[in-house]
Amino acid sequence: MFETLSKATLDKIFVLMAEYAADPRTDKIDLGVGVYKDETGNTPIMSAVRKAEKRMNETARTKTYVGVVGNRGFSSAVVDLALGGVVDAGRIRTVNGNGGTGALMVLAHVLGRARPGGRIYISDPSWPNHWPLVEAAGLVPHSYPYFDPRTRQVDFGAMMGVLDGLTPDDIVLLHGCCHNPTGASLSPEQWDTIAASLARTGAFPLIDLAYLGFGDGIEADAYGTRRVVAAVPEAMVAFSASKNFGLYRERAGVAIAIARNAADADIVSSQMQNVLRASISQTPDHGAEIVRIILGDAALRAEWEAELTAMRERMKRLREKLAEAIRQRSNATDFDFLARHTGMFSLLGLPEDVVARLKVDDGVYMINDSRINVAGIPEDRIGELADRLLAAVG
């Protein structure tokens, strides 16, 4: 059987993680892996999560199946959080996903059934999973320009050059906020333009919302998603609770479909359930129930929001401090974009040989496209990191 197979390419991030772990240098710096880290380098369990989990464990009476659509209380709380009531609930249907990726997978498969071989436009660059995920769903990925490596900001003119030419048969995959891998996010005015363009062309938006609350706050980060779903008759949103609730391994996510009317919504719902049933059958509930408890309890919700704010502010501070340290040392504003980017990532725009040198010579690890995780910046060694970066770019 297996003789027909050849080795599949594994995500380079896993290789990088292993190299970092094996590096004996005590002053090594990990800017690679995409999880939030606190000042001790730990990815913490949020205190609101611990409390909700305790409550859940004390009151739960069963571990029986939840049902194929998953935890409805979790889904509706997430819909309220992400969409803020801009779409009539009668047009919305949800299923839980195995994390945000699982939600995206369900939505992509439904789109693959609706438009077999259909074109889906993905930002260049994007999260590396996007291409294989949509291909597995029978869609054909194309890219649209997004990042200008010169300014390290969004090349909005080039992006709209493609989006404005789309047709009602096309799908466009948008990052809701905190664009991974670039960190260059869209402004509210740019979202307005995108929403108007989609309403005009009829292209179908699929929004990947994996970092709500990591950029400028929940409301500000939800702006683009809300603007788009309010402007078009049909859309989909994949929500992930991995980052903003720190629930990575619990795999909590929601696949949200918005249809023209309730009858269409029921059809889409049956398709989402069918995709789930034919693949993983049911989704995990542990993280979903924790989020449901937090969002449904005023005190826990306030505690969660405060913790999320602290994480966001820490990342902002690290961005500003690193940009400032580089400015002081080099008298140049080349790295000021770090402070303008949002979320956990920034694409530094460095060539691969410089990224390799930083790893080999300086013990500074980042993804080879030069994406850094700003939460990995050691706050007490920012000067040292600035020196190493400046030396490497020469």
Amino acid at 229: V
Count interface residues toward ligand PMP (CB under 6 A): 13
Of the candidate residues 32, 125, 183, 253, the single one contacting ligand PMP (CB under 6 A): 253
Q: Taking each helix axis from N to C terminus, what angle separates 156-163 and 188-201, rounded to the nearest 10 degrees? A: 20
Compute CA distances 321 → 149, 298, 317, 338, 339, whole Å: 22, 34, 6, 9, 8
Strand 252-258 vs strand 92-98: parallel, antiparallel, or unpaired?
antiparallel
78-117 positions binding ligand PMP, by CB under 6 A: 99-101
Of the candidate residues 75, 185, 242, 271, the single one contacting ligand PMP (CB under 6 A): 242
243 given a catalytic annotation:
yes
DSSP 305: H
CB of 200 to ligand PMP, least distance (A): 26
210 given a catalytic annotation:
yes
17-56 positions binding ligand PMP, by CB under 6 A: 34
Residue among 36 and 127 whose Cβ is closer to ligand PMP: 127
Helix (H) / strand (E) containing 112:
helix 99-114
Compute CA distances 224 → 84, 88, 180, 201, 248, whole Å: 12, 18, 16, 18, 24
Residue among 110 and 178 whose Cβ is closer to ligand PMP: 178
Which candidate in 210, 235, 255, 323 is catalytic? Answer: 210
Closest by Cα among 252, 225, 245 to 236: 225
Which candidate in 77, 103, 127, 221 is catalytic? Answer: 127
Of the candidate residues 48, 171, 210, 237, the single one contacting ligand PMP (CB under 6 A): 210
Residue 78: CB atoms within 10 A of its CB come to 28
Could you give phi then psi for residue 134, rounded to 5 degrees? -75, -30
Of the candidate residues 180, 182, 271, 283, the single one contacting ligand PMP (CB under 6 A): 180
Of the candidate residues 20, 121, 127, 365, the single one contacting ligand PMP (CB under 6 A): 127
387 given a catalytic annotation:
no
266 given a catalytic annotation:
no
Question: Could you write out the DSSP letters of every residue in 331-350?
Answer: S--TTTHHHHS-SSEEE---
Of the candidate residues 30, 155, 170, 208, the single one contacting ligand PMP (CB under 6 A): 208
Considering the rule CB under 6 A, would residue 182 count as an interface residue with ligand PMP?
A: no
| Chain residues that interact with ligand PMP, rule: CB under 6 A | 34, 99-101, 127, 175, 180, 208, 210, 240, 242, 248, 253
Q: Give the residue numbers annotated as catalytic, written as ranges.
A: 127, 208, 210, 243
